[in-house]
């Protein structure tokens, strides 16, 4: 025999089923509307609402945490989309604007310094260059010291760049201990740290020192005076030619 349920219970159960069906139908309609909508803001709003519903149904802490992160990201995307269009256009146009440059480019003249005063101590070889305005100028000075060469560049000293380039030093130096100083009287002091302390250089470049080694030839007292004079003149002429080549090569290296 079938058991009869109270009418009120039947009515309550039926009402709950109807509400569930109605809620499901409304959700389906809402999802369909969101899927068919071409408005990105509307789509983001629908997705955010769906995420919040799923967050309410979540039970595990890790799942809730993950849902919270997704919801925050969705809110951020929605805020970006809701940003006034004018602001977005201004930002884009500002970033895409080309830099306005004048037709003329200011190029400062560069002077290469080849004249210096030479001095040395037991530890350093000291070179004094005359650079007008270097004492109080805010311009930048960059250096590049190597074992057998160095370069110094003074930028914007009263509107002029100064450059020093020297190669083929007489002896090796210690680059990390070599320095440049701005001295009073518009003097630029380059201090080259000697690798071998207490060793006398005598000159800055090795070629200059080699030229200095050439001594005036002497005549043979026991030989033919005329032949000795001819030999002396040949040696002196050869020495002068070598000296000219050395000076030319030295100037070329200094100017590089």
- The answer on 220 and 189 residing in a single domain is no
pLDDT band at 189, cuts 50/70/90? very high
State yes or no: pLDDT of 218 exceeds 70: no
Claim to verify: residue 142 and residue 166 sit in the same structural domain: yes
Per the structure, the count of domains in the chain is 3
pLDDT of 199 over the 80 cut = yes
pLDDT in tens, 130-178: 999 988 877 789 999 999 999 999 999 989 999 999 999 999 999 999 9
pLDDT band at 92 (very low <50, low <70, confident <90, very high): very low
pLDDT tens per residue across span 46-60: 888 888 888 888 888
In a domain? residue 94: no
Give pLDDT, residue 113: 94
Residue 85 scores a pLDDT above 60: no
Per the domain annotation, does 6 fall within a domain? no
Flag whether 97 is in a domain. no
Confidence (pTM): 0.45
26/41: higher pLDDT:
41
- Pair (179, 222) in one structural domain: no
pLDDT band at 100 (very low <50, low <70, confident <90, very high): very low
Domain end among 165, 181, 204? 204
Q: pLDDT band at 233, cuts 50/70/90? A: low
What's residue 98's pLDDT?
46
Q: What is the 3-state secondary structure (H, E, C) of the chain?
A: CCCCCCHHHHHHHHHHHHHHHHHHHHHHHHHHHHHHCCCHHHHHHHHHHHHHHHHHHCCCHHHHHHHHHHHHHHHHHHHHHHCCHHHHHHHHHHHHCCCCCCCCCCCCCEEECCCCEEEECCCEEEEEEECCCCCCCCCCEEEEECCCEEEEEEEEECCEEEEEEEECECCCECHHHCEEEEECCCEEEEEEEECCCCCCCCCCEHHHHHHHCCCCCCCCCCCCHHHHHHHHHHHHHHHHHHHHHHHHHHHHHHHC
The domain boundary residue, chosen from 56, 87, 118: 87
Q: Which domain holds residue 256?
A: 205-256
Tell whether 154 and 142 lie within a shared domain: yes
């Amino acid at each position: 025999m079938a058991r009869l349920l109270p009418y009120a219970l039947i009515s309550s159960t039926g009402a709950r089923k109807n509400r569930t069906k109605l809620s499901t139908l409304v959700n389906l309609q809402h999802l369909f509307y969101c899927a068919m909508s071409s408005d990105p803001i509307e789509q983001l709003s629908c997705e955010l609402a769906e995420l919040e519903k799923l967050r309410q149904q979540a039970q595990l802490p890790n799942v809730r945490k993950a849902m919270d992160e997704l919801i925050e990201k969705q809110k951020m995307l929605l805020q970006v989309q809701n940003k006034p269009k004018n602001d977005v256009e201004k930002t884009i146009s500002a970033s895409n604007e080309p830099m306005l440059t004048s037709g003329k480019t200011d190029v400062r003249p560069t002077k290469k310094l080849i004249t210096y005063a030479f001095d040395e101590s037991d530890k350093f070889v000291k070179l004094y260059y005359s650079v007008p305005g270097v004492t109080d100028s805010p311009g930048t000075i960059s250096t590049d010291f190597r074992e057998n060469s160095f370069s110094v560049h003074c930028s914007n000293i009263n509107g002029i760049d100064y450059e020093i380039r020297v190669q083929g030093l007489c002896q090796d130096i210690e680059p990390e201990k070599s320095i440049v100083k701005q001295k009073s009287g518009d003097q630029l002091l380059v201090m080259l740290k000697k690798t071998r302390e207490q060793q006398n250089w005598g000159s800055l470049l090795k070629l200059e020192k080699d030229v200095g080694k050439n001594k005036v030839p002497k005549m043979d007292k026991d030989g033919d005076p005329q032949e000795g004079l001819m030999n002396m003149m040949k040696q002196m002429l050869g020495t002068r030619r070598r000296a000219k080549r050395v000076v030319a090569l030295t100037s070329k290296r200094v100017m590089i």
